[in-house]
Amino acid sequence: MDTTTDSLSADTSGRLPNAPLTTPIVVPVIEEQAVVHREVVESGRVRLSKIVHEHEEAINLALQHEEVNVERVPLNQYVADEATAPVVRYEGDTLVIPVVREVVVKRLLLVEELRVTKHRVETQETQTVTLRSEQIQVERIAPDGTTSSLPNSLNQTL
């Protein structure tokens, strides 16, 4: 088996001669590979400051309470012999409570009635309260020590 191989070799100037030589040219094949390493590097710091603002504010409140008016109505009337004692009853918004006393004759004498009327009263009252709000300031500190505030759009009022 006859194998013929044409080989070229470069001269010292790096050029190939015109005539073929019998010495083979060796061309190295190189492959590069990337190796990635990660490490944590401090690129700066952030300083957060919280500012609490307080202000007084007057608030109008509608308050409700009930007032009771007790009216004593003297009657001094005897209850009929066969009738039962008067009972507690309502006359509109008024609660009527009969007050009786037994007399020696064993007849009931209606001494008086208590008339209790409730009505709701609404008043306006102003009270002063303290309201608080918080604001956060964000400041970036670079590794060289210089500081810069973040834009106000990033600073939030809580």
pLDDT digits (tens, 9 = 90+) for 47-86: 888 999 999 999 998 999 999 999 999 988 888 878 888 9
Give me 115's structure tokens.
Answer: 């008339």
* pLDDT for res 152: 59
H or E element that contains 50: strand 45-78
Residues 6+ apart with CB under 8 A from 35: none
d(CA 71, CA 78): 21
The yes-or-no verdict on residue 29 having pLDDT over 50 is yes
Q: Strand 94-102 and strand 89-91: pairing?
A: antiparallel
pTM value is 0.39
Exposed e or buried b for every residue in 38-75, given b needs 16+ CB within 10 A? eeeeeeeeeeeeeeeeeeeeeeeeeeeeeeeeeeeeee
d(CA 9, CA 30): 20
| Max intra-chain CA distance, the chain | 162
Give me 97's structure tokens.
Answer: 């409570």
Computed over every residue of the chain, the mean pLDDT equals 80
* pLDDT for res 96: 94
The answer to whether 60 touches 123, Cβ cutoff 8 Å, is no
Distance from the first to the final alpha carbon of the chain: 91
d(CA 136, CA 152): 10
